[in-house]
A and B are shown apart, each in its own frame.
Chain A
Amino acid sequence: MASVTYKQISKRFADGTTALADFNLQVNDGELMVLVGPSGCGKSTALRLLAGLESVSNGELLINDAVINDLTPQQRNIAMVFQNYALYPHMSVRRNLAFPLRMLKLPPEEIARRIAWAAELLQLTELLERMPKQLSGGQRQRVAMGRAIVREPRVFLMDEPLSNLDAKLRVRIRTEISALQRHLKITTLYVTHDQVEAMTLGQRVAVMNSGRLQQVAVPQLLYERPANIFVAGFIGSPGMNVFASRLQKQASALAFEFAGQWLEVPRNQRFNPEMLAPYVDQPVYVGLRPEAFEPTGSSEAQVELTLTAVEALGHEQLLYFDLSQVSAPNMIVRLQGSSAFTIGDKIPLALHTTELYLFDKMGKAIYTRAEKEKR
């Protein structure tokens, strides 16, 4: 049982690149924390630092309040599942599982007992005498998991463990990992670039970009209250549409500019005129999720936009609109079901402005104080 703390961690590599900058993260005992971000955002580096495979440039790494910066990987008692599984090719499944236990110099009966336990848990019993090259991708993945759990490590690290599997198997093993983690209650850090995997698997999710932590929250809150434009665009598939805009004071209320129109800023728990006062006549960004639009009769329409592409997914379809007169190149609208649209047509759209998001010119989300505290 262990909690993990990254305290102002930074990592610079010898070639001068900064992989992590001022990174702070607290992972609670028994929690499954997902680190998610685009490739090169530093999420794998964060994992490798904790494993001891890379050295920390600055800051402190703690397990249960004890600094582990100077411990070797062997001393940390952390297990890791690699993206390519890294099974020892010359050893049978049984010997792969036994390797970490032999390193611990456990008695043979104990080794046999633990292998039997892990094999049972992961349905590997039939495969124990096989060699890695005789296993399918999903089986190798399970062996890699088994090798990590037999040791009963303090912390469990997974570096994109599903990315070499096909889509169907990925979904199945995702649920298996989730169930296994809840069963074993081992503190787990899970790295992925796939936001769907992050949202479905993580008890909390840490979104990262360019070596910096953007936001840590439970999945639903990431979606509902993104901290900045990056998180808004990264979470959700497709992500939020974000446009450069301005705020203006009009007779009855504040208005924002969208596709050449002035639309009213709603007055709700997220926004009120007092808090938005400093942003009036200033450049801001507005964000609207693909779900916040609806095709409608032209009388209720707030904007009319030219359709440039349609992607039909069966249960829903994605409509692409050209917004080249605004800063973003195109805008995506998601619709349930299927209806016929012709590319090139002007489609009248209604906006659910209650689902409006506003960001300041630095990209930080603007919320009322109450909303901020919720986060």
Chain B
Amino acid sequence: MSWRRLVSMGLSYAALLLLAFLFVSPILLMLTGSMKADARVLVEAGSFRAFLPLDVDLQNYRDVFARVDFGRYLFNSLYITGMVVLAGLVVNSLAGYAFARLAWRGRRVLFGLVLAILILPLEAIAVPLFYQVTLFGWRDTYLVQIVPFIANAFSIYLFYTFFLGLPRELEEAARLDGAGVLRTFIAIIVPNSKPVFATVAILSFLSQWGVFLWPLMVTSGEAVRPLPLAIATFYTLPPLQWGDIFAFGVMMVLPILLVFLFFQRWFIRGVVATGIKG
């Protein structure tokens, strides 16, 4: 290998390493910080030692459990997010299929509306929504944190585009074989759409796991509040202990990692092409 190539390769590796470090460093900082005594976190923050797990100490984790009912919050978060994801997969896939494949009056207009909702942030409708759920008497429940987020324009759009790409003959064959619309969907479409179900599951899990504003508005006690509100108490109530915050953060990120690992083989896998053509 020529010197020239070696140098250029070395440079590109160095640049890539630097970039990789930039992206990984906050997570690394959180992980190492979670295992340090509180005083050291701030002292070492200015130097490279911040990234080194100099003495492994799980005291911060014990503190988190002592200060809040972590298990309760974790259950709330898992329950709310899980329900939103599961119900969302059902509702949004059916909606996406109806828009992609079924012929019905008003389909185009309604789909246009769905696309319009894509650009509407929650903050814009939070207040009217708040009045509505108050009217329903839903404040301080799981329901209020689940139901408004099941139907999701972006998920519908993802399902819609994926279903459009599926070979129409599969559905036509199923219809001729005697399957109705719903049976065709369950027995033929769903098993061949694993990539899009995985994608939607991951994306909606991610966005739901971190919600803060809405539960803050509609809940008050710790009974139904999710993790993001609990970690917020660590910032807002003294004493401000960074080690505890980091430890909480690590425990909050773990489930996301697990979900991603579980779905990633479908997430990465491309479109189904098997069974069609030679």
A86 adjacent to B173 (CB under 8 Å): yes
Q: How far is the CB of A136 from chain B (nearest CB, A)?
A: 7
A82 adjacent to B178 (CB under 8 Å): no
**Binary interface encoding of chain B residues 153-176 relative to chain A, with 1 for a CB under 8 A from any of its CBs, else 0:** 000000000000001011011111
A79 adjacent to B278 (CB under 8 Å): no
A133 adjacent to B274 (CB under 8 Å): yes
Q: Is B183 an interface residue (CB 8 A)?
A: yes
B178 adjacent to A84 (CB under 8 Å): no
A90 to B276, CA, bound (A): 11
Q: How far is the CB of A19 from chain B (nearest CB, A)?
A: 17
Q: Is B42 an interface residue (CB 8 A)?
A: no
Q: Which chain B residues numbered 117 to 143 have a C-beta less than 8 Å away from chain A?
A: none
Closest to A79 in B: B176
* CB-defined contacts of B170 to chain A, threshold 8 Å: 86, 88-89
With an 8 Å Cβ cutoff, the count of chain A residues facing the other chain is 32
A330 to B187, CA, bound (A): 55
A89 adjacent to B179 (CB under 8 Å): no
B169 adjacent to A89 (CB under 8 Å): no
B278 adjacent to A89 (CB under 8 Å): no
Closest to B179 in A: A103
* CB-defined contacts of B91 to chain A, threshold 8 Å: none
Q: How far is the CB of B134 from chain A (nearest CB, A)?
A: 46
* CB-defined contacts of A90 to chain B, threshold 8 Å: 191-192, 275
* CB-defined contacts of B167 to chain A, threshold 8 Å: 84, 86
Q: Is A85 an interface residue (CB 8 A)?
A: yes
Q: How far is the CB of A129 from chain B (nearest CB, A)?
A: 15
Contact of B176 among A78, A88, A89 (CB under 8 A): A78
Closest to B173 in A: A86
A173 to B275, CA, bound (A): 19
Q: Is B272 an interface residue (CB 8 A)?
A: yes
A345 to B178, CA, bound (A): 64
Which residues of chain A have a CB within 8 Å of any CB of chain B? 51-53, 72-74, 78-80, 82-90, 99-100, 103-104, 131-133, 136-137, 140, 147, 151, 164-165
For the complex of A and B, 10 pairs with smallest distance between CB atoms: A89-B275, A103-B178, A137-B278, A133-B274, A86-B169, A132-B275, A100-B177, A86-B173, A89-B274, A90-B191
A-B residue pairs in contact (CB < 8 Å), sample of 6: A80-B172, A86-B173, A87-B275, A88-B188, A99-B179, A133-B275
